[in-house]
Amino acid sequence: MEKRKKGGRNRFIALCITPAIALFVIFMIIPTIDVFRMSMFKWGGYTADKTFVGFSNFKSLFTNAKFYQAFQNSVLLIVIVTIVTFALAILFAAILTREKLKGQNFFRVVFYIPNILSVVVISAIFSAIYDPNLGLLNSFLGLFQGGEMENPILWLGSQKIVIYSVAIAMIWQAVGYYMVMYMASMANIPVSLYESASLEGAGRLIQFFQITLPLIWTNVRTTLTFFIISNINMSFLMVKAMTNGGPDGASSVFLSYMYQEAYTNSSYGYGMAIGVMVFLFSFALAAVINAVTKRDEVEF
């Protein structure tokens, strides 16, 4: 009787997970394998003519200055956007959780609004802000120059600052989402821990680093890994909508460069080689982040 129940339970579990496994294999495993396979071919993507070239696409990749520029921009965005986003999210979460402020729910909603907006809308907002002639940013800076700037700053047209302009838009979009997540984690920390620390003379800063941060570290570590990997995809969307990789490739990132080569320049095999490098880079980066942020879990 017990064997029959156990067998029925196993069949039920198998029936429940089979669709998920099938979808994962069809839409994740097979396409990933196909990317690796197609990176070995020279193919335009729209014809039946395919030529096996082995690792030739990768050799061309590592000698292409545009690839290194896209790589540099991607790493720069990962570092800047991640550090600033998480610093602000944790800071705002701590302030709204621990300080007795009026309208806390209002601030939660206001900070979260950018996350529910589409990338196109966010790009349009910041493109308008960055407009060299009528944009809010240049108009504000013009107040310190007598009302009008003689030489308007090209926020999206300068090779030196365009990537930082994109980074600001990405930070604005992401801060509120992670702030709300950390507020939920901080709300579960017993108030008695802070009261005991206060009685022992610990200030707010010490309490934050000795109590708050260690107790939410598991959440921070998990979200950090997911955010860094998703940053690669988000940077492509932002760049595509705001600058299309310009000027002269100064804002090009991994996926925008791959898209350009695969679908604009009809170098599909070369584009898939870039996709392989993005996959390997993401996997390696996730492993490094997990190793660096690993620490003993603190419980209360």
Q: What is the pLDDT of residue 264?
A: 82
Share of the chain above pLDDT 70, in %: 95
Q: What is the pLDDT of residue 89?
A: 94
The residue written with tokens 């029925």 in the block is 8
Share of the chain above pLDDT 90, in %: 39
Give the pLDDT band (50/70/90) at residue 203.
Answer: confident
**Each residue of 170-180: pLDDT tens digit?**
999 999 999 98
* Residue 300 pLDDT > 60: no
- Residues near 133 by Cβ (< 8 Å), separated by ≥ 6? 152
Q: What is the pLDDT of residue 195?
A: 85
Q: What is the pLDDT of residue 46?
A: 74
Distances (CA, A) of 201 to 197, 207, 209, 300: 6, 10, 14, 20
* Residue 247 pLDDT > 70: yes
Rounded CA gap, 119 and 122, in Å? 5
The residue written with tokens 């109590």 in the block is 211
Of the CA atoms within 13 Å of residue 11, those in its CB half-sphere come to: 6
CA 163 remoteness from chain centre: 15
* Residue 220 pLDDT > 70: yes
* Residue 168 pLDDT > 90: yes
Burial pattern 230-257, b for ≥16 Cβ within 10 A else e, equals: ebbebbbbbbbbbbebeeebbbbbbbbb
Q: What is the pLDDT of residue 246?
A: 85
Q: What is the pTM of this model?
A: 0.88
Q: What is the pLDDT of residue 182?
A: 92
Mean pLDDT of all residues in the chain? 87
Q: What is the pLDDT of residue 11?
A: 83
Rounded CA gap, 292 and 289, in Å? 5
Q: What is the pLDDT of residue 23?
A: 93
Q: Is the dihedral of CA 20, 237, 58, 44 positive or negative?
A: positive
Q: What is the pLDDT of residue 296?
A: 65
**Each residue of 14-72: pLDDT tens digit?**
888 999 999 999 998 998 899 899 999 988 877 778 888 989 999 998 999 999 999 99
213 in Cβ contact with 140 (< 8 Å) = no
Burial pattern 281-295, b for ≥16 Cβ within 10 A else e, equals: bbeebeeebeeeeee
DSSP conformational letter for 118: -
147: left (phi over 0), alpha (psi -120 to 50) or beta: left
- Residues near 55 by Cβ (< 8 Å), separated by ≥ 6? 40
Which of 14-23, 63-72, 103-112, 254-263 comes out lowest in average pLDDT?
A: 103-112
Q: What is the pLDDT of residue 71?
A: 93
Q: What is the pLDDT of residue 145?
A: 73
